[in-house]
Amino acid sequence: MGNCQAVDAAALVIQHPSGKIERMYWSVTASQVMKMNPGHYVSLIIPLPGAENQDDSGNKTVRFTRVKLLRPSDTLVLGRAYRLVTSHEVMKVLRAKRHAKMKKEQPETDSKMENTSQEVAHERTIKQRSGSFSRSKSWRPSLQSISEAAVAS
């Protein structure tokens, strides 16, 4: 009998959303896999070290922390596991990330706006004060200092 593990290391595994497992024994580009599965993206499964579990039927399951989408020009490597992800799932994750990023930046934006408005108000106050000082320092004739000579008729 042959060594099954050697054959598995010499194959790349593609997991479909339906649960179907496909093994390929040659390198292939992500664009070729996407052409064979329209509406799907290819992602690399990144496993946690030592996170292998066995279920009741004796199959090994691997938990992963994240899924990295591959570019169409990337080559799938033998001995690695990949997953097909629907374009709907990708868009859902991208929307969630964008929403989280906007939510995270919003308090920063609010505080920046508040700081900016405080700075503008401070600058206005300084300008008003300096303007009032410059107005008060400007020369104005004083009526008390002008003496009127009495004119004799």
CATH code: domain of residue 44: 3.10.20
Q: 98 lies in a domain?
A: no
Q: 23 lies in a domain?
A: yes
Q: Is the per-residue pLDDT at 3 higher than 50?
A: no
Q: 107 lies in a domain?
A: no
pLDDT tier, 46 (very low <50, low <70, confident <90, very high otherwise): confident
* Total structural domains within the chain: 1
> Could you give the CA distance from residue 47 to residue 61 in angstroms, rounded to a whole number?
10
Q: What was the pLDDT predicted at 1?
A: 45
Which has the closest alpha carbon to 83: 51, 49, 48, 45? 45
Range of the domain at 84: 7-93
Q: What was the pLDDT predicted at 95?
A: 87
Alpha carbon 66 to chain centroid, angstroms: 15
Strands (E), 3-152: 12-15, 21-24, 28-29, 40-54, 60-69, 75-76, 81-86
What is the pTM (predicted TM-score) of this model? Answer: 0.52
Q: 69 lies in a domain?
A: yes
For the CA atoms of 89, 94, 99, 101, what is the dihedral angle to 10 degrees? 140
Q: 135 lies in a domain?
A: no
Q: In this structure, what are the phi and psi dihedrals at residue 7, rounded to the nearest 5 degrees?
A: -65, -40
Q: 106 lies in a domain?
A: no
Higher pLDDT, 76 or 9: 76
pLDDT tier, 142 (very low <50, low <70, confident <90, very high otherwise): low
Higher pLDDT, 80 or 55: 80
CA 81, 87, 88, 90 torsion-angle sign: positive
Higher pLDDT, 76 or 104: 76
Q: 53 lies in a domain?
A: yes
DSSP 133: H
